[in-house]
Homo-oligomer: A and B are copies of this chain.
């Protein structure tokens, strides 16, 4: 669980990074920014801030914001109702992001899984993205990603997004938010 004041602080920090990236949001988008804490209660380490621009039955576009060092935990997008799982393209806009996907592990990766959760991270092929660089993740492919020390802003272009179907390696994780007063 996460308190309302934690949500607000994360939204404000993410809004500052989006502003640094030159990305203009409406007031409604800023106020409605999604803060995913994945049910682990360690938002600074494991979490993600999202602005969903559009999610139709054909395509989806979002801005993903990672606070400094923040990690989006390992998951995959499985097929749903006979459609292949979500395919997504990450384009780094600001900061630095370290993306890990299935394949030959990279020796001496630049990021490490959050302390205490190492056992739930199993893929280590590293793709480092600086602003202007992008990578497309095939459907149903395990992946996780972490921001560098300044944080990161990443545009995500994809097929339809069905967050409730995501499969996380860590069985403790809940994708949908729980917020408590505070």
Contact = CB atoms under 8 A, between A and B. Distances in A.
- Quick one: copies of this chain in the complex? 2
Contacts of A179: none
Nearest to A29: B132
A91 B59 contact: no
A7 interface: no
Contacts of A58: 58-59, 87, 159
A127 interface: no
Contacts of A133: 26
Nearest to A30: B132
Interface string A137-150: 00000000000000
Contact of A89 (B21, B53, B91): B53
Pairs A-B, 10 closest by C-beta atoms: A22-B22, A61-B157, A24-B132, A59-B59, A24-B131, A58-B159, A54-B89, A26-B132, A59-B159, A25-B132
